[in-house]
Amino acid sequence: MRDLLDPRRMLVFAEVARSGSLAAAAQALGWTQPAVAQHVKRLERDTGCTLVIRNSRGVTLTEAGQSLATHADAITARLRAARADLSALTDLRAGQVRLAAFPSACATFVPAAIALLQERAPGLDVRLTEAEPGEARRLLAAGDADLAVTFDYDNVPDTPAEPARTPLFDDPMLLVLPSGHPLADRTDTDLADAADQRWIAGCPRCRTHLTTAAASQGFLPDIRHSTDDYVVTQTLVSTGLGIALLPTLALEAARDPQVTTIGLRRHAPRRVSLTSPADIPPSPATAAAASALIDVTGPRRTAKSKAEV
């Protein structure tokens, strides 16, 4: 950079080349003539070349001057292009958003949100990665995602270094039973009423919601089978191998006609949120994506969570 020509002088010189005289260039720049003359003189000193031939009608460029003016014009064009590109980013005519979302969100409202976003800002490059909340948070922290749709349970505290989180809506947990199960004719129940059942749960890492909820009701669930897949879960339930807890969203994504679901009294719902990296101001594209997700999930918001938002 030290050995580079001063680019501001180049711009001044480009104006001189365009105007054909120092005085005209000065007027175009809103300066006085000596100001421009000083720039040109300095440029000639720096380059060691005579750049202009001064005559009584203004100046004419030497070959060196013409060469320099060409480069100067290219720089001007670049500066314009830089501004234009930044405008495109802020106006959402360009830009990228990398979304991460958990499976049942990906299977339900997220595609609608992306469609809405593409409609609002067709120039955006939107990319979705399916990821469970833990993985999604890793992606955000590593800078491999801009925005994540995550969930958490009230009773399971999150990591201490919590990224910025905006609640989207509450996703109530439902008890999933085979049709014809003794509990299946109730409209809702306490979790404790299912204490003696056999359970289908998620992998050891993902079953904490069930085990902590059960522990608070004073029992240890008898977990016989484990899967993180909500389709598999329902198949196992419908086959009579056990009962399960599933969030409403999962059942909305895929519903086995052979199972019955009933509500749970005094049972905390799964909370679905928007998570973004901590302390990073969202880009216009990311903000637009967040808006689209909030708008699409608006109907799901309960009065309580609406007040929070």
Chain residues binding a copy of itself by CB under 8 A are 1-8, 10-12, 15, 28-30, 47-50, 53, 60, 62-64, 67-68, 71-72, 74-76, 78-83, 85-86, 89-90, 95-96, 143, 280-281, 283, 285
Query: Is 56 a residue that touches DNA (CB under 7 A)?
Result: yes
The verdict on 37 binding DNA (CB under 7 A) reads yes
Q: Least distance (Å) from DNA to the CB of residue 24?
A: 6
In single-letter form, the type of residue at position 292 comes to A
Q: Is 218 in the site for DNA (CB under 7 A)?
A: no
Binding to DNA in span 260-299, by CB under 7 A:
none
Number of H helices, E strands in the chain: 12, 13
Residue 129's Cβ-count burial label (10 Å; 0-12, 13-18, 19+) is middle
The nearest distance, CB 4 to DNA, in angstroms, is: 13
List the single partner that 7 binds among DNA, a copy of itself, none, CB under 5 to 8 Å by kind.
Answer: a copy of itself
Quote the least distance from Cβ 64 to a copy of itself, whole Å: 5
DSSP-derived secondary structure letter, 299: G
Torsions phi, psi of 152, nearest 5? -160, 165
- The backbone torsions φ and ψ at residue 120, rounded to the nearest 5 degrees and listed phi first, read -70, -35
Token pair in block for residue 165: 């989180």
CB of residue 116 to a copy of itself, shortest distance in Å: 21
236 touches which of DNA, a copy of itself, none (CB within 5 to 8 A by kind)?
Answer: none
In terms of CB distance, is 50 or 179 closer to a copy of itself? Answer: 50
Listing from the earlier edge strand, what are the strands of the sheet with 259-264?
Answer: 188-189, 259-264, 173-178, 244-247
Q: Are strands 244-247 and 188-189 parallel, antiparallel or unpaired?
A: unpaired
> What residues have CB less than 8 Å from 156, skipping those under 6 apart?
208, 209, 212
Asked if 164 and 133 count as a contact pair (C-beta separation under 8 A), the reply is no
Which range of residues in 31-39, 132-140, 229-237, 249-257 is near DNA by CB under 7 A?
Answer: 31-39
Q: To the nearest whole angstrom, how small is the minimum distance from the Cβ of residue 46 to DNA? A: 10
Binding partner at 21 among DNA, a copy of itself, none, C-beta below 5 to 8 Å by kind: DNA
Closest CB to a copy of itself among residues 52, 262? 52
Compare residues 6 and 188 and give the one whose CB is closer to DNA: 6
Out of 18, 28, 41, 217, name the contact with DNA by CB under 7 A.
Answer: 41
Of 2-21, which residues contact DNA (CB under 7 A)? Answer: 6, 8, 21
Among 46, 54, 115, 155, binds DNA (CB under 7 A): 54
Q: Which long-range contacts (CB under 8 A, 24 or more apart) does 109-112 make?
A: 109/293, 109/296, 109/297, 109/300, 110/149, 110/293, 112/296
3-state SS class at 243: strand
Residues contacting 300, CB < 8 A, separation 6+: 109, 168, 169
Strand partners, 61: 52
Q: Which does 62 bind (CB under 5 to 8 A by kind): a copy of itself, DNA, none?
A: a copy of itself
For DNA, give the closer residue by CB, 59 or 201.
59
Cβ neighbour number for residue 170 with a 10 Å cutoff: 21
86's contact among DNA, a copy of itself, none, with CB below 5 to 8 A by partner kind, is a copy of itself
Paired strand residues for 147: 99
Residues that bind DNA (CB under 7 A): 6, 8, 21-24, 26, 30-35, 37-42, 54-59
